[in-house]
Structure 1
């Protein structure tokens, strides 16, 4: 089931690379003004893209979960279907929320649950220190805590403290939950 992401730049933001390294069903492209849109097939990738945008800051993020008209067109700008309508409603709602993200879907209660989990993840990501990010990036790339410690010139215990302070374990637990809820929201 596809997911449509509609993302709007807040005033004064520079452009995002629009997911150049993201596996998409339809690549991200500018749709109108400061907005861009893409279609993704994997809910785990949706979670990843949302959290990347949250980390960068300055975006209103709308996730639409549901059906799209097939076959897919050459561009997300000409796509149609309920997921597109949900993404439009979601980005409009995101502009009014403090976390600046919203989810709308074919199954509204599950979309609300997905939004709640993604919002909690967004708060975790937004509040991380630069030191926590250093440790998380290394360990998240597959390095051991000992390797990360050596790279950062700190003790293994300090890496563990940075991971704990950055709520890395909680993020790892909530990501698949968010993806499952997105799947349910799509119907």
Structure 2
């Protein structure tokens, strides 16, 4: 299971943004979560999924708001599942908790933890090329997060239109700019580089998850 725990940044000096985040997550990924995303404690939101692509996309969506520290935990959960996410437990939840705690001290406000590595140092399991650590996958996701973090509003505007199905020509017309200007926005935003990286990141998460389930603690 992939468990995400998100903790609101500087919540004492801000309004409670959990409700808005829950609406965003449910509208975009609702059926893909095992249980509905939940506000678990104060300004904290938690969710879980069996789909690595959904875990990555949800992480990216939460991170884009700039309002949350995000911990992604991989591993088993206690079954049968309860009626609500706030009642769920297991090694993946412990890993996500450790992740969000560490995320608060990182440049990206993101951290990845596997349940297997909760028991040992974050190194490859036996030194073979097939094994990897959560730290290695976290570093690669972190590069994408930093890239997105530095993207301009104009870059996001162009990218969002493409995600809605607009062609570059249609997007240019919609924004009242030239196709060359749209192309430059996308280039500056490194949109193609991110798009190319996402499938690889999903495969790495899947590999790390299998590795964690096969060698980690049981729920």
Counterpart Cα distance in 2 of 1:138 and 1:93: 34
Aligned to 1:69: 78
RMSD: 1.5
Cα displacement (A) at 1:46:
1.2
Counterpart Cα distance in 2 of 1:13 and 1:107: 36
Cα displacement (A) at 1:85:
1.1
Count of residue pairs brought into register by the alignment: 186
Counterpart Cα distance in 1 of 2:149 and 2:15: 17
**TM-score, normalising length: structure 1:** 0.93
Does residue 185 of structure 2 align to residue 162 of structure 1?
yes
Aligned to 2:126: none
Does residue 40 of structure 2 align to residue 40 of structure 1?
no
- Aligned ranges 1:116-135 → 2 under 5 Å: 116-135=139-158
Gaps of 5+ in 1: none
> Which stretch shows the higher mean deviation, 113-122 or 85-94?
113-122
SS for the counterpart of 2:40 is strand
Gaps of 5+ in 2: 118-131, 211-219
SS for the counterpart of 2:77 is coil
Regions of 4+ moved over 2 Å: 106-110
**TM-score, normalising length: structure 2:** 0.80
Counterpart Cα distance in 2 of 1:13 and 1:126: 22
SS for the counterpart of 1:30 is strand
SS for the counterpart of 1:25 is coil
Counterpart Cα distance in 1 of 2:99 and 2:45: 14
More RCO (CA 8 Å, sep 6+): 1
Aligned to 1:179: 202
Counterpart Cα distance in 2 of 1:85 and 1:133: 34
Counterpart Cα distance in 2 of 1:95 and 1:17: 18
Contact persistence 1:107–1:184 (CA under 8 A): no
